[in-house]
Amino acid sequence: MKKIFIETRFVLAFREAISVVKDVEQGQPGLMVVWGHPGRGKTECAREYAVRDMDSVYLRVMQDWTARGMLSALCCEINEMEPGTVERCKKILVGELEEHPRAILVDEADRLSLGNIEHLRDIHDMTGAPIVFIGEPSIYAAINARKRIWSRVTKTVEFGKLAAQDAAIFGLKAANLKIEAEAAQKLITRCGGDFRLLWQDMRDLERLARANNTQEVTIGLILKLKDRKQTPRGSRS
């Protein structure tokens, strides 16, 4: 299959929301929260945006990051420096972001400690740089519970389940498969709206279609896919 990027309704909502927080004048709230269950396309959306927009920085949170580890990694993304102290990191980040404002996209933000979230709030307050927290539903709850942080949140975007139309577009662009409406809906039901599981099904469908010498995907072809033994991730939502 081809590696492609699908512009779902959630991607469009993300782009619209980040354009708003990037236009906020310095000194005004400019935080953004993006959340959803795993497999909904949040990370790919953030990475794609960071590649397209030169005025943004993508930062993936590592498990058990200390404040210095996080801020040093952010410095490295911005100017390839890795200062040895929190104070030095903040000083450099403030200087860089005041001179060249950029949006900071913090992926897997649900891994952040509250202390590290506060450090990022400091940077936002001092520079006006928009900060986008991206993660699982717990990041929404964590920030909402901290009123002095939540009061700075201008936009929120929830990445929900994929739609049948997304499956049809993905199949056509990634595997040149023409998926009937009923079959597309069956795919979404099987994967629980999870893009990772949809990708696995589409890979198997591509093989089945080739074996059957067809590019048409009907409900009959969907029924030939192996049954899933586990509940799809995020199906509880």
pLDDT in tens, 181-234: 999 999 999 999 999 999 999 999 999 999 999 999 999 999 999 886 654 444
Q: pTM for this one?
A: 0.89
DSSP 109: G
Place of tokens 């580890």: 69
Q: What is the mean pLDDT of the chain?
A: 92
pLDDT in tens, 62-81: 999 999 999 999 999 999 99
CA dihedral 62, 65, 69, 73 (to 10 degrees): 20
Domain boundaries, the chain: 9-158, 164-222
Residues in contact with 99: Cβ distance below 8 Å, sequence separation at least 6, in sequence order: none
For residue 13, give the amino acid letter.
A
Structural class in CATH, domain 164-222:
mainly alpha
Single-letter amino acid, residue 120: L
| CATH architecture for residues 9-158 | 3-Layer(aba) Sandwich (3.40)
Residue 99, exposed/middle/buried by CB under 10 A (0-12, 13-18, 19+)?
exposed
Residue 235 clears pLDDT 50, i.e. is over it: no
The encoded tokens of residue 112 equal 């952040």
What is the identity of the amino acid at 143? I
Calpha distance 31→21 (Å, rounded): 7
Residue 207's nearest CA partner among 192, 197, 217 is 217
Q: List the one residue out of 85, 144, 82 whose CA is nearest residue 119.
A: 85
